[in-house]
């Protein structure tokens, strides 16, 4: 089954195409592209999907499902990926599956006790902890603090940014959620032909909006 | 005519998620989801709340539009989407979705100007627009007078508000009078029981000294403050506020300036057609006064029905259909949004 994965929960816009077969299950990556620009998901993602599908030799109508990283991540970019995945899924009549973007990083990080941290802006991180790729805590959003003793290493661009505070060695090879990892995380649902789901972002924060205070008078 | 192109329009520039479908210049569907109730307690549109609502609404709204038009996405010939002006985060949801539909169906995408779409929508109701025409667009986000030579090529801005938009003034005065958000419909309703001549509120940028530099510009901030002063002065005296008269007199001041400048623009440019669009075009006094003054000057006023005046997907589809018919080149897949898209740009 040919699967498209999208993720825009970090400064990266990622598109990946993989074939999933029912042995184990097995995920065979066909093409994957990534560009890193925190302010340009809206411009970069769609051409990248087009190029990735072409490189994989896959037409959109050949796709069996779409997997999208649902965050957590800065909202504006995150919504670009989810709106694109949802509309493609609707137009193609195929299911869409959401996967926590931090889980993609946690899986890509491999064995051991791992902290995944991405930049949540406002001097905060989105984070979750993993043992052998399985999430143990999170996802949460907080000011960076020390994870010494709780994790053996940290991955994600947020970990690089706050390495001095986190107190664990940083693995700079794993910065953004790979499309193939997201597809692997949804492989059971894909092979089981599970119903698709509405892609709901993990915002973790409420909108900043304040109800207006009493109106100021104009007379002195 | 089955040969005419089937065009989809997606609108998410503010708090309405709209999907419209036209065949040529015939409206087949106009589905809308609004987040207006979620903004009411904040007294205005909260961009993040609007963006979240667009993402939730886009797929279901699309489904309703397709069902209403009895077509599928595979039948669509072109996709138009508002690329600006508007709230950047809100625009991005609609543009990303439009790109997804375009990628999946391999159909061209047109990123279009929201204000030009407000003009184009009238052709769905009243047929081809005689060009040149004057267009007046009045809403909570914009108040502009435009010279429309060719709606597919660009429109010439003649004037705009220099402070609050007309609809914004309605919202602020409604709040002052305790009428809730959005203010336009509430003031319109209340004003029917009041006297528009009761209180002589100021008409911004109509004095001779202002007309030199701001012949077709508007200003509603001074009016809003004048209403607040008038109301507060009576509150201090402890007298009852004649709310209906305040609403009617405020509304009269807004509509007087808008229609006077619109008619003047028509006369100065030798144009005999005035198109009015935007949410404030639904105001009953604005429609009546514009018709009255236009008739005296031999000008025809065209105002689409209220559902097509407020933000909607049909207007975007209507403009898209004009662009397809005119052979305009589609946008690229890296189409950006432009929250301050100039009027000279019709398709990005
Ligand atoms: Zn509008």
pLDDT tens, position by position, B248-272: 999 999 999 999 999 999 999 999 9
Q: Reply yes or no on whether the pLDDT at A108 is more than 90.
A: yes
**Mind spelling out the 3-state secondary structure of B182-209?**
CHHHHHHHHHCCCCCCCCCCCCCCCCHH
Beta-strand ranges (E) seen in A2-133 are 2-7, 12-21, 26-36, 65-69, 96-99, 113-119, 125-131
- Kindly state whether residues A182 and A134 are assigned to the same domain: no
Q: Reply yes or no on whether the pLDDT at B36 is more than 80.
A: yes
How many structural domains is chain A composed of?
2
Structural domain boundaries enclosing A60: 2-101+177-191
Q: Give me the pLDDT at residue B322, please.
A: 97
Q: Which of A91, A69, A64, A61 is nearest to A13 (CA)?
A: A69
Q: Is B103–A209 a contact, with Cβ atoms under 8 angstroms apart? A: no
- Kindly state whether residues A93 and A110 are assigned to the same domain: no
State pLDDT tens for residues B290-306.
999 999 999 999 999 99
Which CATH number goes with the domain that contains A72?
3.30.420.40
Q: Is A207–B88 a contact, with Cβ atoms under 8 angstroms apart? A: no
Query: Which of A40, A42, A95 to probe the B interface (max B CBs under 10 A)?
Result: A42
Does residue A58 lie within any of the structural domains?
yes
Q: Which of B267, B288, B15 is nearest to B145 (CA)?
A: B267
Q: Give me the pLDDT at residue A162, please.
A: 97
Q: Reply yes or no on whether the pLDDT at A3 is more than 70.
A: yes
Chain B residues 285-344 with a CB less than 8 Å from chain A: 332-337
- Kindly state whether residues A64 and A76 are assigned to the same domain: yes
Q: Is A44–B63 a contact, with Cβ atoms under 8 angstroms apart? A: no
**Separation CA A141–CA A138 (nearest Å):** 8
**Separation CA B250–CA A140 (nearest Å):** 50
Residue of chain A whose alpha carbon sits nearest to that of B175: A215
Q: Is A82–B49 a contact, with Cβ atoms under 8 angstroms apart? A: no
Chain B residues 55-84 with a CB less than 8 Å from chain A: 55, 58-59, 62-63, 73
A88 touches chain B (CB under 8 A): yes
Q: State both tokens at B308.
A: 């097509």
Confidence of residue B2 (pLDDT cuts 50, 70, 90): low
3-state secondary structure of B177: coil
User: How deeply is A219 buried, as exposed, middle or buried, from its count of CB atoms within 10 A (0-12, 13-18, 19+)?
Assistant: exposed
Confidence of residue A219 (pLDDT cuts 50, 70, 90): confident
Q: Give me the pLDDT at residue B41, please.
A: 80
- Kindly state whether residues A186 and A137 are assigned to the same domain: no
Q: Reply yes or no on whether the pLDDT at A149 is more than 70.
A: yes
State pLDDT tens for residues B40-51.
888 788 999 999
In sequence order, which residues have a C-beta less than 8 Å from that of residue A128 and are 6 or more positions away?
A100, A102, A103, A106, A115, A116, A135, A136, A137, A138, A139, A140
Residue of chain B whose alpha carbon sits nearest to that of A4: B104
3-state secondary structure of A118: strand
- Kindly state whether residues A54 and A10 are assigned to the same domain: yes
On whether the CB atoms of residues B253 and B223 are closer than 8 A, the answer is yes
CATH code assigned to B6-121+312-325: 3.30.420.40
Which CATH number goes with the domain that contains A148?
3.30.420
Chain B residues 195-224 with a CB less than 8 Å from chain A: none
Q: Give me the pLDDT at residue B141, please.
A: 85
Q: Give me the pLDDT at residue A65, please.
A: 98
pTM of the model: 0.94
A50 touches chain B (CB under 8 A): yes
Q: Is B46–A209 a contact, with Cβ atoms under 8 angstroms apart? A: yes
Beta-strand ranges (E) seen in chain B are 6-11, 16-23, 26-34, 78-84, 109-113, 133-138, 143-150, 154-160, 273-277, 300-302
- pLDDT (mean) for B262-291: 96
Of B51, B101, B229, the CB nearest to A87: B101
3-state secondary structure of A50: helix
Does residue A201 lie within any of the structural domains?
no
Interface A–B counts its CB contacts (< 8 A) at 125
Does residue A186 lie within any of the structural domains?
yes
The DSSP secondary-structure symbol of A103 reads H
Q: Ligand 1 center to residue A180 CA distance, Å?
A: 41
- Kindly state whether residues A83 and A148 are assigned to the same domain: no
- Kindly state whether residues A21 and A86 are assigned to the same domain: yes
CA angle B282, B284, B287 (to 5 degrees): 80
Contacts of A198 in chain B (CB under 8 A): 59
Does residue A17 lie within any of the structural domains?
yes
Contacts of A61 in chain B (CB under 8 A): 104
- Kindly state whether residues A10 and A55 are assigned to the same domain: yes
Q: Is B73–A209 a contact, with Cβ atoms under 8 angstroms apart? A: no
On whether the CB atoms of residues B152 and B322 are closer than 8 A, the answer is yes
**Separation CA B318–CA B346 (nearest Å):** 13
Of B48, B63, B334, the CB nearest to A207: B48
The DSSP secondary-structure symbol of B75 reads G
3-state secondary structure of B173: helix
Place of tokens 């105002």: B303
A125-131 sheet: strands from edge to edge: A134-142, A125-131, A113-119, A153-155
Phi, psi values for residue A10, rounded to 5°? -125, 180
- Kindly state whether residues A161 and A185 are assigned to the same domain: no
3-state secondary structure of B265: helix
CA angle A62, A64, A70 (to 5 degrees): 125
Does residue A202 lie within any of the structural domains?
no
Does residue A197 lie within any of the structural domains?
no
Contacts of A44 in chain B (CB under 8 A): 334
- pLDDT (mean) for A21-33: 93
Does residue A130 lie within any of the structural domains?
yes
On whether the CB atoms of residues B246 and B177 are closer than 8 A, the answer is yes
- pLDDT (mean) for A50-75: 98
Dihedral of the CA atoms A101, A103, A106, A111 (nearest 10)? -160
Query: Which of B42, B64, B74, B96 to probe the A interface (max A CBs under 10 A)?
Result: B96
- Kindly state whether residues A15 and A72 are assigned to the same domain: yes
Q: Is B63–A90 a contact, with Cβ atoms under 8 angstroms apart? A: yes
Q: Is B58–A87 a contact, with Cβ atoms under 8 angstroms apart? A: yes
Q: Does B130-304 carry CATH code 3.30.420.40?
A: yes
Q: Ligand 1 center to residue A60 CA distance, Å?
A: 34
Residue of chain A whose alpha carbon sits nearest to that of B46: A209
CA angle B313, B254, B117 (to 5 degrees): 20
Does residue A214 lie within any of the structural domains?
no
On whether the CB atoms of residues A124 and A143 are closer than 8 A, the answer is yes
Of A45, A76, A91, the CB nearest to B73: A91
Q: Ligand 1 center to residue B27 CA distance, Å?
A: 19
Q: Which part of chain B is CATH 3.30.420.40? A: 6-121+312-325, 130-304
- Kindly state whether residues A28 and A84 are assigned to the same domain: yes
Q: Reply yes or no on whether the pLDDT at A109 is more than 60.
A: yes
- Kindly state whether residues A76 and A161 are assigned to the same domain: no
In sequence order, which residues have a C-beta less than 8 Å from that of residue B284 and are 6 or more positions away?
B188, B192
């Amino acid at each position: 089954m040919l699967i498209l994965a999208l993720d825009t929960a970090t400064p990266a816009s990622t598109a990946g195409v993989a074939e999933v077969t029912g042995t184990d299950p097995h995920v065979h990556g066909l093409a994957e592209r990534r560009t890193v620009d925190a302010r340009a998901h809206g411009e970069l993602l769609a051409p990248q999907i087009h190029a990735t599908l072409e490189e994989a030799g896959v037409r959109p109508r050949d796709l069996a499902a779409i997997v999208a990283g649902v965050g957590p991540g800065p909202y504006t970019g995150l919504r670009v990926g989810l709106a694109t995945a949802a509309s493609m899924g609707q137009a193609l009549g195929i299911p869409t599956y959401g996967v926590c973007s931090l889980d993609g990083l946690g899986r890509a990080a491999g064995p051991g006790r791992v902290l995944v941290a991405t930049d949540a802006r406002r001097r905060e991180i989105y984070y979750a902890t993993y043992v052998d790729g399985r999430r143990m805590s999170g996802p949460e959003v907080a000011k960076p603090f020390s994870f010494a003793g709780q994790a053996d290493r940290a991955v994600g661009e947020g970990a690089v940014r706050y390495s001095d505070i986190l107190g664990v060695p940083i693995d700079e090879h794993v910065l953004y959620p790979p499309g193939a990892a997201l597809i692997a995380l949804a492989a059971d649902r894909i092979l089981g032909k599970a119903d698709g789901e509405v892609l709901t972002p993990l915002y973790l924060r409420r909108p900043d909006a304040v109800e207006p205070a009493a109106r100021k008078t104009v007379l002195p | 005519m089955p040969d005419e192109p089937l065009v989809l329009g997606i609108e998410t520039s503010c708090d309405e998620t709209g999907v419209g479908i036209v065949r040529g210049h015939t409206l087949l569907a106009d589905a809308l989801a609004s987040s207006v109730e979620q903004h009411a307690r904040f007294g205005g549109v909260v961009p993040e709340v609007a963006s979240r609502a667009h993402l939730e609404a886009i797929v279901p709204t699309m489904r309703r539009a397709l069902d209403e038009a009895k077509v599928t996405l595979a039948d669509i010939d072109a996709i138009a989407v508002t690329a600006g002006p508007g709230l950047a985060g809100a625009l991005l949801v609609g543009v990303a979705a439009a790109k997804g539909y375009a990628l999946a169906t391999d159909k061209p995408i047109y990123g279009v100007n929201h204000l030009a779409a407000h003009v184009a929508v009238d052709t769905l109701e009243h047929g081809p627009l005689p060009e040149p025409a004057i267009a007046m667009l009045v809403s909570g986000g914009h108040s502009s007078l435009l010279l429309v030579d060719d709606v597919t090529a660009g429109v010439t801005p003649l004037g705009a508000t220099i402070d609050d938009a007309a609809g914004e003034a309605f919202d602020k005065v409604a709040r002052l009078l305790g009428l809730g958000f959005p203010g336009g419909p509430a003031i319109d309703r209340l004003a029917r029981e009041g006297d528009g001549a009761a209180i002589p509120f100021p008409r911004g940028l109509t004095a001779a000294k202002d007309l030199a530099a701001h012949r077709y510009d508007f200003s509603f901030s001074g009016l809003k403050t004048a209403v607040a002063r008038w109301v507060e002065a009576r509150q201090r005296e402890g007298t009852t506020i004649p709310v209906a008269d305040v609403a009617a007199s405020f509304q009269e001041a807004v509509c007087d300036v808008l229609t006077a400048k619109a008619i003047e623009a028509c006369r100065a440019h030798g144009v005999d057609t005035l198109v009015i669009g935007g949410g404030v075009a639904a105001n009953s006094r604005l429609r009546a006064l514009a018709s009255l003054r236009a008739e005296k000057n031999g000008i025809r006023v065209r105002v689409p029905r209220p559902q097509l005046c407020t933000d909607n997907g049909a207007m975007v589809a209507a403009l898209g259909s004009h662009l397809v018919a005119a052979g305009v080149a589609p946008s690229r897949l890296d189409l950006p949004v432009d929250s301050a898209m100039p009027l000279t740009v019709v398709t990005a």
